[in-house]
Amino acid sequence: MDICMFYFGVLVLITNYISLTTSTPLFNLTTDQYSLTVLKNSIVSDPNAILHTNWSIHTPICGWIGISCGTKHQRVTALNLSSFNLRGTIPPHLGNVSFLRVIDISSNTFTGVLPSELSKLRRLEVINVAANNFSGEIPSSFGDLSQLRHMDMSDNVFSGRIPSSLFNISRLQNLNMSFNTLDGNIPEEIGGLSSLERVSLQNNRLRGTIPYAVFNISSLISVIFAYNMLSGKLPNNICSNTPRLREFTVLRNQFDGEIPRNIGKCKELQLLQLQYNNFSGDIPSEIGSLSMLQGLFLLENQFKGRIPKQVGNLTSLLYLMLQENHLTGRIPKQVGNLTSLLFLMLQENHLTGTPSVPS
Ligand SMILES: *[C@@H]1O[C@H](CO)[C@@H](O)[C@H](O)[C@H]1NC(C)=O
Ligand SMILES: *[C@@H]1O[C@H](CO)[C@@H](O)[C@H](O)[C@H]1NC(C)=O
Ligand SMILES: *[C@@H]1O[C@H](CO)[C@@H](O)[C@H](O)[C@H]1NC(C)=O
Ligand SMILES: *[C@@H]1O[C@H](CO)[C@@H](O)[C@H](O)[C@H]1NC(C)=O
Ligand SMILES: *[C@@H]1O[C@H](CO)[C@@H](O)[C@H](O)[C@H]1NC(C)=O
Ligand SMILES: *[C@@H]1O[C@H](CO)[C@@H](O)[C@H](O)[C@H]1NC(C)=O
Ligand SMILES: *[C@@H]1O[C@H](CO)[C@@H](O)[C@H](O)[C@H]1NC(C)=O
Ligand SMILES: *[C@@H]1O[C@H](CO)[C@@H](O)[C@H](O)[C@H]1NC(C)=O
Ligand SMILES: *[C@@H]1O[C@H](CO)[C@@H](O)[C@H](O)[C@H]1NC(C)=O
Ligand SMILES: *[C@@H]1O[C@H](CO)[C@@H](O)[C@H](O)[C@H]1NC(C)=O
């Protein structure tokens, strides 16, 4: 122990000048080393002895496995322990590694809460803690991580509400909180995520409506809100402001109302998954302008009326799943033109005729 303290002391002397250029002058390479050592000591199981043998205090931290440093200042910029088979907790001290831009500790068995002190990492661009066993609330202070582009909290046991402060992070492109036990509403402030491309909140306990502000985020590519208790209707202007949307998945919720005719404006849509809800009305003929569509999943809703002949336009379609609705009339012969189809499910409706088998 005495030797360790002496070693730290020497490092403080050698590396003190580095801190002069940083915005947090008290933190330096020694802080990085100390913080990572605390992290190492918080790991209770390391079956492959990766950190145990490699994170040796006698070798520079920039050579430690899973650590990357800046070439000029030799400060720790990335921590990647993904799939190291580690069990333990994350100490608040990690929030002192002030040059961190990337934290990836996904696919381990970390438990406990995610310390709110991580919000001190103002340079952080990527945080991936997916596939662990973190619990408790997502710290609302994470809204201070203004440089964050990628946040993956999926596949843990986070609970409580989604803090609306997160929606202040205007650079955020990828937000994944799927497979947790989050409840409450999706906060209205989500519209503040003006760079958002992919959002997944699937498999939680979310209630209420999708804030219409979501449909104003023009950068959106993929929206996945499946397996929650969300309700309400889709807005009539659904595709007016989201021209890049490729996936819209809200399956297994409690939505009702009609598919807005505006859906035809989502020209890049590839996957539309509305199944297991209470949507009603006709299938709009405008669906025929979705020429990129590969999957149309409308099964187990309350759709009525005829299948529009414009489905024959959907020549990229692989899945046409319309079973268990109240559809009537003849199956349009245009279905026979869907030569890419892999699955066609129309049963449990009131349809007549048989589809001509695509050649
Ligand atoms: C730790 O791992 C890194 C990367 O695999 C390697 O370069 C280094 O030599 C290892 N250090 C020790 C002390 O085992
Ligand atoms: C972390 O390392 C894994 C395995 O090398 C890699 O697949 C992953 O992309 C890395 N994470 C980040 C954020 O770079
Ligand atoms: C780093 O963070 C911890 C807890 O957040 C704190 O107790 C410690 O004193 C901090 N400072 C240094 C220089 O490690
Ligand atoms: C995950 O955490 C829960 C409590 O939140 C605990 O019951 C469970 O045993 C933990 N699983 C693992 C693999 O650590
Ligand atoms: C979100 O997380 C889930 C579960 O970890 C994963 O399967 C999915 O690929 C992730 N999606 C994105 C867009 O990162
Ligand atoms: C968002 O940021 C603004 C200032 O940048 C602040 O006034 C507001 O309280 C923040 N909102 C939340 C919910 O944290
Ligand atoms: C969406 O944007 C339009 C203008 O671009 C604005 O009038 C409308 O209020 C916004 N809707 C929401 C719910 O933010
Ligand atoms: C579904 O909608 C129908 C009307 O279209 C309504 O009668 C029924 O009560 C709704 N069911 C649920 C579970 O909301
Ligand atoms: C179907 O395709 C034809 C020609 O490709 C096009 O003229 C027509 O507008 C399309 N129908 C719809 C509903 O988009
Ligand atoms: C099916 O496609 C062929 C050409 O591929 C076209 O001539 C025919 O009009 C189409 N039939 C229908 C019903 O759209």
CATH number of the domain that residue 15 is part of: 3.80.10.10
Ligand 6 site, residue 164, Cβ cutoff 6 A: yes
* Nearest ligand to the CA atom of 108: 4
- Structural domain including 38 reads 1-99
CA 256 to chain centre: 25
Which of 122, 165, 186 to mutate to test ligand 6, by most ligand atoms within 8 A of the CB atom? 165
How many Å apart are CA 355 and CA 72, to the nearest integer? Answer: 67
Same domain, 85 and 105: no
Which of 176, 201, 246, 248 to mutate to test ligand 5, by most ligand atoms within 8 A of the CB atom? 176
The answer to whether the beta carbons of residues 284 and 307 sit under 8 Å apart is no
Q: How many residues does the chain have?
A: 359
pLDDT at 353: 82
Q: What is the number of structural domains in the chain?
A: 2
* 50 C-alpha to ligand 1 centroid (Å): 9
Same domain, 44 and 91: yes
Count of beta carbons in the 10 Å neighbourhood of residue 64: 20
Let me know if residue 272 belongs to a domain. Answer: yes
**Partners of 304 in beta bridges:** 326
Please, is 63 exposed, middle or buried when counting C-beta atoms within 10 Å of its C-beta (0-12, 13-18, 19+)? exposed
* 131 C-alpha to ligand 5 centroid (Å): 10
Out of 99, 127, 144, pick the residue that ends a domain: 99
Which of 104, 125, 128, 150 to mutate to test ligand 2, by most ligand atoms within 8 A of the CB atom? 104
Same domain, 69 and 209: no
Ligand 2 site, residue 126, Cβ cutoff 6 A: yes
Same domain, 111 and 56: no
Let me know if residue 358 belongs to a domain. Answer: no
CA 31 to chain centre: 31
Let me know if residue 213 belongs to a domain. Answer: yes
Considering the entire predicted model, what is its pTM? Answer: 0.89
DSSP secondary structure letters along 68-120: EE-TTT--EEEEE-TTS--EE---GGGGG-TT--EEE--SSEEEEPPPGGGGG
Per-residue pLDDT of the chain (359 residues; tens, 9 = 90+): 343 433 443 343 334 333 334 444 456 668 899 999 999 999 999 998 889 899 998 999 999 999 999 998 889 999 999 999 999 999 999 999 999 999 999 999 999 999 999 999 999 999 999 999 999 999 999 999 999 999 999 999 999 999 999 999 999 999 999 999 999 999 999 999 999 999 999 999 999 999 999 999 999 999 999 999 999 999 999 999 999 999 999 999 999 999 999 999 999 999 999 999 999 999 999 999 999 999 999 999 999 999 999 999 999 999 999 999 999 999 999 999 999 999 999 999 999 987 765 54
Q: CA-based Rg of the chain, rounded to a whole angstrom? A: 25
Same domain, 225 and 127: yes
Nearest protein CA to atom 2 of ligand 1, as residue: 65
Let me know if residue 190 belongs to a domain. Answer: yes
Which of 151, 154, 173 to mutate to test ligand 5, by most ligand atoms within 8 A of the CB atom? 154
* Nearest ligand to the CA atom of 120: 3
Query: Residue 174: helix, strand or coil by DSSP?
Result: strand
The answer to whether the beta carbons of residues 76 and 61 sit under 8 Å apart is yes
The answer to whether the beta carbons of residues 244 and 219 sit under 8 Å apart is yes
How many Å apart are CA 130 and CA 151, to the nearest integer? Answer: 9
Ligand 1 site, residue 56, Cβ cutoff 6 A: yes
pLDDT at 358: 54
Same domain, 313 and 219: yes
Question: Inter-axis angle of helices 2-15 and 29-41, to 10 degrees?
Answer: 150
Q: Which residues line ligand 10 (CB under 6 A)?
A: 312, 333-334, 337
Ligand 2 site, residue 104, Cβ cutoff 6 A: yes
Let me know if residue 359 belongs to a domain. Answer: no
Nearest atom within ligand 8 for CA of residue 280: 5
Out of 40, 74, 99, pick the residue that ends a domain: 99
Same domain, 50 and 194: no
Query: By C-alpha distance, which of 251, 180, 179, 240 is closest to 214?
Result: 240
Same domain, 57 and 130: no
Q: How far is CA 242 from CA 84, 232, 261, 298, in A?
A: 39, 20, 15, 21
Out of 37, 67, 99, pick the residue that ends a domain: 99
How many Å apart are CA 359 and CA 326, to the nearest integer? Answer: 28
Same domain, 13 and 107: no
Same domain, 113 and 94: no
Same domain, 207 and 325: yes
Nearest atom within ligand 9 for CA of residue 291: 14
Q: How far is CA 350 from CA 149, 173, 277, 306, 324, in A?
A: 48, 44, 19, 10, 10
Count of beta carbons in the 10 Å neighbourhood of residue 112: 15
Same domain, 264 and 326: yes
How many Å apart are CA 335 and CA 187, to the nearest integer? Answer: 41
